[in-house]
């Protein structure tokens, strides 16, 4: 069922209030983040690397908003997101570590003025553009950029919000009630947007080259 404009605006304003706390600002050391992110690159530094089970692409991070990366890491650390490996990884990170890693991955920001690619499906127009834009660039740091992200990862994330595997005060209001076909059309649309999020190139060493 489509949201009425007033309800959608209410949710966007609520999201703005929720995003105004400590996670709304990221002040990290990108150089240090590059050094300590080597464990992240074991998965996020390999093009088209897949999560084993369930199988879906590991997300691209280069160009993502730093505030969103920090929020996601905190959610994995606190189990608001259900993923065993990410929970363990995030548990080992301090708040400063998260800020530094986020500063490194966000070092190639995407232009907010990018023109949309293709025609947005009705559900994108109804549910998504107020926060993620028609071009997939999150309108503030608290909203993730989706442009060029793997379509299977985007679809998986929407399903996790529906099932409650990702706990979020806003997203269930948008995704509950949409069909699998509509989820796929949203994911397909945002995956084709350009300029795109990118996979960070993993540093090659003598050991990794063998």
Structural domain contains residue 16: no
Domain region containing 105: 5-11+23-191
Under the banding of pLDDT at 50, 70 and 90, the label for residue 171 is very high
Residue 111 lies in a domain: yes
Q: What's the mean per-residue pLDDT of the chain?
A: 87
**Location of structure tokens 């994108």:** 124
Q: What is the pTM of this model?
A: 0.84
Domain for residue 202, yes or no? no
Tens digit of each residue's pLDDT (9 = 90 or more) over 122-162: 999 999 999 999 999 999 999 999 999 999 999 999 999 99
**Taking 80 as the threshold, does the pLDDT of residue 91 lie above it?**
yes
Whether 168 maps to a domain, the answer reads yes
Using CA atoms, how far apart are residues 175 and 162, in angstroms rounded to an integer?
A: 6
User: From CA 138, how far away is CA 145, in angstroms rounded?
Assistant: 4
Place 18 in a pLDDT band, splitting at 50, 70 and 90. very low
Q: Is residue 12 within 8 Å of residue 132, measured between CB atoms?
A: no
Secondary structure (3-state) at 51: strand
Say which residues have a Cβ less than 8 Å from residue 35's Cβ, sequence separation at least 6.
none
CB-based burial of residue 210 (10 Å sphere; 0-12 exposed, 13-18 middle, 19+ buried)?
exposed
Number of domains making up the chain: 1
3-state class (DSSP) for residue 32: helix
Percent of the chain with pLDDT over 90: 79
Residues facing residue 111 across a β-bridge: none
Residue 201 in domain: no
Q: Does 205 map to a domain?
A: no
Question: What pLDDT, on the 0 to 100 scale, is given for residue 53?
Answer: 87
Q: Which residues contact 74 (CB under 8 A, 6 or more apart)?
A: 23, 80, 90, 98
Query: Quick check: 116 and 194 in contact, CB under 8 A?
Result: no
Q: Which residue has the tokens 């127009």?
A: 125
Percent of the chain whose predicted confidence (pLDDT) is above 70: 84
Confidence grade of residue 174 (pLDDT, cut at 50, 70, 90)? very high
Q: Is residue 203 in a domain?
A: no
pLDDT band at residue 2 using 50, 70 and 90 as cut-offs:
very low
Q: What is the pLDDT of residue 26?
A: 52
Tell me what pLDDT residue 27 has.
82
In a domain, 204, yes or no: no
Assign residue 123 the CATH number of its domain: 1.10.760.10
Which pLDDT score is estimated for 38?
A: 93
| pLDDT at position 64 | 98
Residue 72 pLDDT: 97
At 162 the pLDDT is: 95
């Amino acid at each position: 069922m489509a949201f009425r404009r007033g309800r959608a605006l209410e949710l966007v304003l609520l999201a703005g209030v929720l995003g105004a706390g400590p996670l709304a600002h990221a002040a990290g050391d990108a150089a240090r983040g590059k050094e300590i992110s080597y464990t992240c690159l074991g998965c996020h530094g390999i093009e088209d690397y897949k999560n084993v089970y369930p199988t879906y692409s590991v997300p691209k991070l280069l160009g993502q908003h730093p505030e969103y990366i920090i929020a996601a890491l905190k959610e994995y650390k606190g189990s608001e997101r259900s993923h065993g490996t990410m929970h363990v990884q995030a548990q080992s990170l301090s708040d400063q570590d998260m800020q530094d890693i986020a500063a490194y991955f966000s070092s190639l920001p995407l232009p907010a003025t990018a023109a949309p690619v293709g025609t947005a499906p009705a559900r994108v127009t109804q549910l998504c553009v107020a926060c993620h834009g028609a071009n997939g660039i999150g309108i503030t740091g608290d909203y993730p950029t989706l442009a060029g992200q793997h379509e299977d990862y985007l679809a998986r994330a929407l399903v996790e919000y529906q099932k409650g595997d990702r706990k979020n005060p806003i997203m269930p209001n948008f995704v509950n009630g949409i069909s699998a076909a509509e989820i796929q059309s949203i994911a397909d649309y945002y995956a084709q947007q350009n300029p795109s999020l990118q996979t960070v190139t993993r540093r090659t060493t003598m050991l990794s080259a063998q």
